[in-house]
């Protein structure tokens, strides 16, 4: 039979470290022969932005999108190639509105997850729209911000409904801080969300396809220190719940490359942010966990193109809501049902069988590459591009030491 060639497109913004890593590793995967005897060869290209005819056929089988959450021209191209050409996308551009946090909160609450009490408040300042004054005068109801805050309970967080990277997030401890933060919010829509005080641990999980890495996150530290290398910071049951919720939300919204944040207090897992259209996978952030992320991204994208996995643009919400609305199911039983739905969406069993048969060499290959001069050169260039010259030696030692630890522990 004839060989099959697949093209994976990388739609990128300013990042260059992980794309170079992914490209280097994909070149090393080699050909894969499927059950029919066909040989699959896979290459990657970086997607350029240009005018496009809606009837034009793309050369890509799959796109890893890191740009369209804010750049609308490539977003519309993604919608076109998904609707007309069955190109597989990480992530779906049709649920981007849910990436603005609000819909994700609503869905999680609807599914019975332990999201802290949350209220959406109107704009502080009028919108720059000629119709606003009339609409506001006729339909906007006056409200008491202090009464809303009292119902949520102090302390709380005020944060943009469409936020990211902790921009515009304020911890509110009293009415004075409440009004100061709201006055500063301007034309941004804000949530008030109850704080989970005295939580035990902040867990951040990165999920790529059916694979999840749960990491101990320390948000108050500088970015290069936020991910702690700790393999036993969660008990088995709580850790499994964090994984289940991570994959549940991704399957629900058709997100396949997403990071999630939860606060764990005792045996309770409280999701606080489960919508990241462009999750952080920089080597200078993930460091120790960077090789895992590259291996998982490699495995999932190769699996999708070789098996001809079809994009699922529709959201089968009724199946999830049937579980949520069943009064005979306990919370633990609902989580089990959600996990099965997520595993069905991600074809977890088939994926694991495929990886064992065709990609069992990936972990060893990644280990060899991370220990190579090529990777050290990439790390050095990234550090020198990110930090001022007087800090180069410090951060080369910092990240190099963490990578060395990964190499020792995963040899």
Q: Where are the domain boundaries for CATH 3.40.50.20 in the chain?
A: 2-96
Give per-residue pLDDT as tens, 80-90.
999 999 999 99
Q: Are 82 and 295 spatial neighbours (Cβ–Cβ below 8 Å)?
A: no
Superfamily of domain 116-192: ATP-grasp fold, A domain (3.30.1490.20)
Q: Which of 162, 324, 336 is nearest to 247 (CA)?
A: 336
Provide CATH code, domain 2-96.
Answer: 3.40.50.20
pLDDT tens digits, one per residue of 100-150:
778 888 899 999 999 999 998 988 887 787 888 888 888 788 889 999 999
Please list the residue range(s) of the chain that carry CATH number 3.30.1490.20: 116-192
Alpha-carbon distances, residue 220 vs 77, 148, 225, 263 (angstroms)? 38, 28, 9, 14
CATH topology for the 99-113+196-276+309-345 domain: D-amino Acid Aminotransferase; Chain A, domain 1 (3.30.470)
The residue with greater pLDDT, 181 or 313, is 181
**Boundaries of CATH 3.30.470.20 in the chain?**
99-113+196-276+309-345
The model's pTM is: 0.92
What values do phi and psi take at 189, rounded to 5? -75, 135
């Amino acid at each position: 039979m004839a060989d099959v060639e697949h093209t994976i497109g990388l739609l990128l913004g300013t990042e260059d470290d992980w794309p170079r890593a992914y490209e280097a590793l994909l070149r090393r995967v080699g050909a894969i022969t499927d059950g029919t005897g066909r040989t699959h060869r896979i290459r990657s290209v970086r997607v350029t932005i240009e005018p496009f005819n809606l009837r034009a056929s793309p050369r890509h089988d799959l796109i890893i999108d890191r740009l369209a959450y804010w750049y609308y021209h490539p977003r519309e191209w993604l919608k076109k190639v998904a609707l007309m050409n069955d190109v597989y996308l990480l992530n779906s551009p049709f649920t981007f509105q849910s990436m603005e946090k609000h819909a994700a909160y609503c869905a999680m609450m609807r599914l019975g997850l332990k999201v802290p009490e949350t209220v959406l408040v109107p704009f502080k300042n009028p919108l720059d729209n000629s119709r606003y004054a009339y609409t506001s005068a006729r339909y906007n109801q006056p409200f008491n911000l202090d009464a809303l805050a009292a119902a949520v309970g102090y302390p709380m967080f005020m944060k943009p409904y469409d936020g990211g990277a902790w921009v515009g997030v304020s911890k509110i401890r009293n009415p004075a801080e409440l009004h100061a933060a709201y006055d500063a919010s301007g034309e941004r829509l804000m949530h008030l969300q109850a704080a989970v005080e005295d939580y035990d641990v902040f867990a951040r999980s990165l999920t790529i396809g059916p694979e999840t890495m749960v990491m101990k996150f320390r948000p108050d530290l500088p970015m290069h220190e936020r991910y702690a290398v700790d393999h036993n910071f969660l008990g088995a049951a709580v850790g499994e719940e964090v994984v289940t919720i991570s994959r549940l939300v991704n399957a629900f919204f058709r997100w396949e490359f997403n990071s999630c944040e939860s606060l764990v207090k005792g045996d309770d897992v409280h999701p606080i942010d489960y919508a990241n259209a462009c999750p952080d996978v920089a080597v200078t952030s993930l460091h120790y966990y960077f090789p895992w992320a590259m291996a998982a991204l490699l495995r999932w994208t190769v699996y999708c193109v070789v098996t001809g996995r079809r994009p699922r643009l529709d959201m089968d919400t009724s199946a999830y809501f049937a579980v949520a609305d069943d009064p005979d199911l306990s919370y633990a039983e609902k989580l089990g049902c959600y996990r099965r739905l997520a595993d069905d969406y991600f074809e977890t069993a088939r994926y694991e069988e495929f990886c064992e048969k065709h990609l069992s060499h990936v972990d060893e290959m990644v280990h060899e590459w991370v220990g190579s001069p090529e990777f050290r050169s990439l790390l050095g260039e990234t550090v020198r591009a990110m930090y001022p010259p007087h800090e180069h030696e410090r951060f080369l030692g910092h990240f190099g030491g963490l990578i060395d630890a990964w190499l020792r522990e995963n040899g």
